[in-house]
Structure 1
Amino acid sequence: MAGTTPTDITSAAKQTGGAVTKNYTGPLVTVTMLFFMWGFITCLNDILIPKLQQVFTLELWQAMLIQTAFFGAYFIISLLYFILSITKGDPILRIGYKNGIIVGLVVAAVGCVLFYPAASLHSYGFFLGALFILASGITVLQIAANPYVAILGPPDGAASRLNMTQALNSLGTTIAPIIGGYLIFGAVNAAETGAESVKLPYLALAGMLLAIALLIKIAKLPHIQGDGEIKPGAGALQYRHLVLGIICIFAYVGGEVAIGSTLINFFKLPHIAGLEEAEAGHFLAFYWGGAMVGRFFGAVALSEMKNANRKYLIIAGIAAIVFGLLYFAYGLNEALIALGLIALNFAMLMVGRFIPNRTLGFFAATVVVLLLITSFATGAVAMWSAIAIGLFNSIMFPTIFTLAIKGLGVHTSQGSSLLVMAIVGGAVMPPLQGAVADFSGNLQLSFLVPLACYLYIMYYGFAGSKVQEEAVS
């Protein structure tokens, strides 16, 4: 899932006094909870879509407006933040990262609370407004928490810390379909009908967000801030690989979210699996869980670790743990299927020779093939092909980001802001896929919409990510 945003760590450290040598383990553990929470909340949208579609008798494209409201906030709030940064100075640096995080948590909690009146009034538009406010808070969290994590420790370990927190983000996206499916579709709310079943889960989320805000308020976290002055202008746009990278982030987030938003309805199809919503939520967890597992693989494979045998040993160990967990949780059949997909993932890492842009290109090519199988096959083959896409999505977001900001120098932070705005792809592609499904009457063929996104990602990996000296005219 889209969760972390690299920033100009060196510049941030200088602006904040360069205090990066202390032991920040405690603060880092505290802040890491945020990554889990926004991953969990983001993935709950995949449960909301079929639920509200059923409650309000919506066409699929209308139900996909849930993602438009949610990810549209990323674009609008990030755009406003970008404008403020280049005209008035960085707002987060002015108030401090800690206060910025608290603001984001409180705004997100307000959005969660608004689900209660939205359900009481039985208003789909109210739900969309609540989602927009919720996502606005998460956007502020993204802007504040990522650079904060990068600064909490030595600069050389920043990437490692961001990978660790991103893994927690993936854990949130993995368990959200299971817990959300149980709470919203399952026995816990069996006595509640319609939209009423979302009230208690989102009130509970609001309480958790406010509790974390209070914890961060009283915790002894480093108070990091600065004048945040940024010169006017958008010099980052002169870099071709950044401009193409912005499009690539749009395509990636759009494709990933569109697929995840469609899977429960896809698994319900009689000729695919014929599952009920709650059971389909369990298999949706495989999709997001694959991203988490693949992210661990990618972190090891694409690291600067010189000993290749050590890389293989670590990856084999992770695969063994995953196999064991799936075997005890689901049985031998699911564990063996997952192990086979992991082997395919590792094979693509080998083909990519652990080079980021090559690996990105081959992973995207693999997803293209998987989407073709998803679109035209039936039964378990189609179902597991769709699930496997998550495993290959894993490295894409951080890899695209890293390639896009390479060589930007003083324009790195500005480039990062522009890339955050491109997350709006998650607001655009799901309704487009839903519209294709509705108008064609064929949900399965609608997976050709995200296929176009991954074709572009493949291009960016193999060619578009190359740094060129000349500016964009």
Structure 2
Amino acid sequence: MDTGHSNIEGRGPAVLAVSSIILAIATLFVIFRMISRGAIVKRISPDDYLMLVAWLLTFGMTFAVCWGTRYGLGRHEEDVPDAWQSTLKKADYAFSVLYNPALMATKTSILMFYLTLSQTNRTFRWATIATLVVVNAGGLALTFLNIFQCRPVGAVFATPLPDNAKCTDIVIIYLTSAPLNIITDLAILFLPMPILTGMRLPKKQKIILIITFSFGIFVAAVDVVRIAYLQEASQTRLAEIQSESGDSGSSTRDTDFSWYASLSFMWSVLEVNVGVCCACVPALKPLVSRFMPQMLRDRGDVTEKSGTFSLRDQTADMANAHRIPSVISLPDGVDANAHTHASPPREQAEDDGPMGMMDFLTTPEMSEFPSRLDRTQTALTNTTRHTAPDSPAFFDFVNMQGKKSMLHMTNRESVFPISMVTILFFIWGFEYGLLDVLNQQFQRVSHMTAGQTTSIHSAYFIGYFLGPWLIGNWTLHHWGFKACYSVGLSIYACGTLIFWPSAVLTSYPAYLITNIIVGIGLSVLETSANPFIALCGPPEYAEIRLNLSQGVQAIGTVVAPLIANRAFFRENLNAPSLVSTQYAYLGIALFTIALAVAYHYVPLPEATQEELEDAAERLDSAHKASIGRVPVIWIILSLAALSQFCYVGAQEVVGTTFSGYMAKVVSPDWNEANFNAIGHTLFALSRFIAAGLNLFIKPRYLLLAFYIGTILFSALAMHRPGKTGLTMLLLTYFFEGPLFALIFAQGLRGMGRQTKFASVVITSAISGGAVFSPISNHLALDGKGAQYALIVAAVVFGFGTLMPIGLCAAPALARVVDPVSSKDASERPSETSSRASRALSFLNIGKKEQGEGEASGSVEFRERKASA
């Protein structure tokens, strides 16, 4: 037996060496952290104790892997003696049980530390708590799943596996947990960035601070590499599932577990140990500050013998640099002069409370400085709940440039913000096209029934009903338009990451959830992006801007299937081709996360409720009219929601029946993908054409004309055979194109402060795509055929025409939705001038009353000022 140990072969030596070295490095980081916190800061926090627990679990997990290499881990199964099997399985089991608790303890320590960073930023605090819940709930669930991977539990150590035992493939468990690990890794990485980048610090300190908190990206990178090795093990399982004779309950010995799992275990050890190292980095700052302070100080920083910064000098330097001496001020009761030349006695600092970790991170050499002033400095960067936050910037102290409301921008001024948001239109068009192709591939691999196929397609649109109401409405009203982009992109990235376990397990329920989450993410995007395009710039061009942006979106929908079919699948429809798409989705998810972070910093205009209400004001007060007792704006919104619901539902009927139509009516030998691409190209082209026609034709007339086109050609496609019928169906695609933008933009007109709510309503109406496809699919399968199923589309398009018919028939509605031309808009300055005159008159009076009124705190004066 000993001679066997001395002649270890295969991957074992490499796994042992790497695991031992990274454990030693992590141990050093933990020791330095405890020295920094215990000897220098003289205060050990709960997050430090949690880090000790994480290190103990990591040590046990790493030791289990190292011990396993002595008993065959890294060898092929045929080279592992039977006498080693029991010990090897015990080591593997110990690793699998300790892996998730070690990750959970490490991430919990980091998140507990995050809770000390900002007591005033409620959004950051609640986001941290939510992440903390997800980390611990998911970690506990996965831990129990690992513990009870076999039933009975003792069967995990048996060789061979007893006939009455049932075990879950441990590789599948690891892959199932991969999305949760990546999502929480990225959340921990980016959660503090808005606070850190928004702090007003010297440039070098700010760079160091951001880099310090960015080390977590190495954990996510290691996790991705680990998953790549797990994928190698999963391909055999996918091939077995595809074949009818595949046996998902194959034993560990049959799958050569000790060989292919060794590198996965090694990368898991690296992941957890690197996580421990990264979690300790911020806590090492006091240690570095004590022995190498020059690393943390900009050249020219002024310090005193006591090692303190002068808050007054810093404030003065910032003000002089920007020539705005009144921008930064200290709170009442804080005297900057009192701390200019000497630090206060130690007793005073202790009276103000213990110094937090953030004090050390943001003030490198202020170990004797009172924490009250540190909190004052930090508070200078915070905003209250009633103050709109400025755009964060990485290295500036004060935002010198005020933003212009999107409602008051000219066409030239709106080019940049509209271009930035149009990029998002292209992204979700591309992702929708890719999702559609991926759904088809998943259906082939898992041999889904027609009903399951329809339900997966409908699940995406269920997300469109949930997203705007559950997330989009609150985000849009409380954080504004831009916040919806980052939130929507983040949710979408989570949905794409969940594709990993969905594909590995070929699980129908998991794939349903994936589509719902993707739909929620993209619906949150649309809740903000569509009204942003419609509102950003002169109002008379709202439909034109939205159709142009939607046209770019449609181009993405055309391009995505072409790329997917050629790059991912080609003509090989075996199981490994599905595995290859997981890497594409991983890349998309990581790119989407990066995009979400980037859009947090992109300077985009906003519009407050008051500005929206003021922009809706008209001299004729058309938007305030009523029909009966119902305000016209609510009638228009109801018609828009109904029309959007019907339009998207009918559009999906046409899309889902296209394949069956090609096979039954035209010819099964014709290339369906090519003609589908032609249809989507016509769809995109019509949006650009409609944008041009909108310069001359009122939107309500265009909406009616294009609706009539969809009804006419979908009805003709039902009755015409062969190529003629296909041509009619392709023309239906063409007339569908501009409907979305025309409905959305007209639905928002005149809504004023209810504009954001109207956007939520119309966006949620996109969920009509989930309703009518199952009906048409039932008709197609009921012996009627795909051609007869198009009657559903024609009827639903007919109901959608209620909006343009109502707008054209009721003059009160028409006056609201018809764009105000530039000539008509030129009459409005008289109203603006009148308001300006009243404001100037008040200011002249106010100059005389201001001193007395404000000094006495006169309620009458404040009310008069507020009303003006």
State the partner residue of 1:222: 604
SS at match of 1:239: helix
By how many angstroms is 1:289 displaced?
1.5
State the partner residue of 1:272: 666
Deviations 1:306-327 (A, max 9, x none): xxxxxxxxxxxxxxxxxxxxxx
State the partner residue of 1:420: 763
Structure with more of its chain in helix, by fraction:
1
Letter paired with 1:119: A
Alignment of 1:52-63 (within 5 A): 52-63=442-453
Letter paired with 2:429: G
SS at match of 1:64: helix
Does the 8 Å contact 2:407/2:607 carry over to 1?
no
Does the 8 Å contact 2:422/2:552 carry over to 1?
yes
> Alpha carbons of 1:358 and 1:152: their partners in 2 closer, same or farther (altered >3 Å)?
closer
Say which of 575, 584, 598 aligns to 1:201. 584
Say which of 423, 426, 432 aligns to 1:42. 432
Say which of 539, 564, 583 aligns to 1:180. 564
Alignment of 1:395-406 (within 5 A): 395-406=738-749
> Alpha carbons of 1:371 and 1:154: their partners in 2 closer, same or farther (altered >3 Å)?
closer
Greater mean deviation of Cα atoms: 221-230 or 444-453: 221-230
1:51 aligns with 2:441: yes
1:144 aligns with 2:528: yes
Alignment of 1:90-101 (within 5 A): 90-101=474-485
Does the 8 Å contact 1:370/1:385 carry over to 2?
yes
Deviations 1:117-170 (A, max 9, x none): 101011011111011111111111112333444565565665544333222111
Does the 8 Å contact 2:476/2:484 carry over to 1?
yes
State the partner residue of 1:332: none
Q: Which has the higher contact order (CA 8 A, sep 6+)?
A: 1
**Counterparts of 2:806 and 2:534 in 1: how far apart (Å)?**
29
1:164 aligns with 2:548: yes
Alignment of 1:388-467 (within 5 A): 388-440=731-783, 442-463=785-806, 466-467=809-810
SS at match of 2:695: coil
State the partner residue of 1:248: 643
> Alpha carbons of 1:149 and 1:455: their partners in 2 closer, same or farther (altered >3 Å)?
closer
SS at match of 1:171: helix
1:356 aligns with 2:751: no
By how many angstroms is 1:280 displaced?
1.8
By how many angstroms is 1:222 displaced?
3.5
1:33 aligns with 2:423: yes
By how many angstroms is 1:225 displaced?
7.0
Does the 8 Å contact 1:49/1:64 carry over to 2?
no
> Alpha carbons of 1:149 and 1:400: their partners in 2 closer, same or farther (altered >3 Å)?
closer
By how many angstroms is 1:407 displaced?
4.5
Alignment of 1:53-92 (within 5 A): 53-81=443-471, 90-92=474-476
Q: Which has the larger radius of gyration?
A: 2
**Counterparts of 2:746 and 2:421 in 1: how far apart (Å)?**
26
Q: TM-score, normalised by structure 2?
A: 0.41
Deviations 1:297-346 (A, max 9, x none): 11111225xxxxxxxxxxxxxxxxxxxxxxxxxxxxxxxxxxxxxxxxxx
**Counterparts of 2:417 and 2:516 in 1: how far apart (Å)?**
29
**Counterparts of 1:24 and 1:408 in 2: how far apart (Å)?**
21
**Counterparts of 1:102 and 1:286 in 2: how far apart (Å)?**
33
**Counterparts of 2:490 and 2:699 in 1: how far apart (Å)?**
37
Q: TM-score, normalised by structure 1?
A: 0.73
> Alpha carbons of 1:252 and 1:19: their partners in 2 closer, same or farther (altered >3 Å)?
closer
By how many angstroms is 1:285 displaced?
1.7
**Counterparts of 2:583 and 2:426 in 1: how far apart (Å)?**
20
> Alpha carbons of 1:252 and 1:264: their partners in 2 closer, same or farther (altered >3 Å)?
same
**Counterparts of 2:407 and 2:742 in 1: how far apart (Å)?**
27
Say which of 107, 112, 134 aligns to 2:491. 107
1:302 aligns with 2:685: no
Does the 8 Å contact 1:362/1:458 carry over to 2?
no
**Counterparts of 1:462 and 1:147 in 2: how far apart (Å)?**
23
**Counterparts of 1:154 and 1:455 in 2: how far apart (Å)?**
32
1:120 aligns with 2:515: no
**Counterparts of 1:218 and 1:14 in 2: how far apart (Å)?**
14
By how many angstroms is 1:434 displaced?
1.4
**Counterparts of 2:743 and 2:608 in 1: how far apart (Å)?**
29
Deviations 1:237-278 (A, max 9, x none): 9733432332211110001122112223432x15413247xx
Q: Which ranges in structure 1 are unaligned for 5 or more consecutive residues?
A: 1-12, 305-353
By how many angstroms is 1:365 displaced?
2.6
> Alpha carbons of 1:195 and 1:444: their partners in 2 closer, same or farther (altered >3 Å)?
farther
Greater mean deviation of Cα atoms: 69-78 or 398-407: 398-407
By how many angstroms is 1:425 displaced?
0.5
Figure out how many residues of one structure are paired with residues of the other and give that number: 395
Letter paired with 1:75: F
By how many angstroms is 1:423 displaced?
0.7
State the partner residue of 1:290: 682
Greater mean deviation of Cα atoms: 163-172 or 401-410: 401-410
Say which of 662, 673, 681 aligns to 1:281. 673
Greater mean deviation of Cα atoms: 36-45 or 435-444: 435-444
Does the 8 Å contact 2:455/2:774 carry over to 1?
yes
> Alpha carbons of 1:161 and 1:368: their partners in 2 closer, same or farther (altered >3 Å)?
closer
> Alpha carbons of 1:197 and 1:385: their partners in 2 closer, same or farther (altered >3 Å)?
farther
State the partner residue of 1:9: none
**Counterparts of 1:44 and 1:135 in 2: how far apart (Å)?**
13
Paired-residue identity, %: 26
> Alpha carbons of 1:45 and 1:458: their partners in 2 closer, same or farther (altered >3 Å)?
same
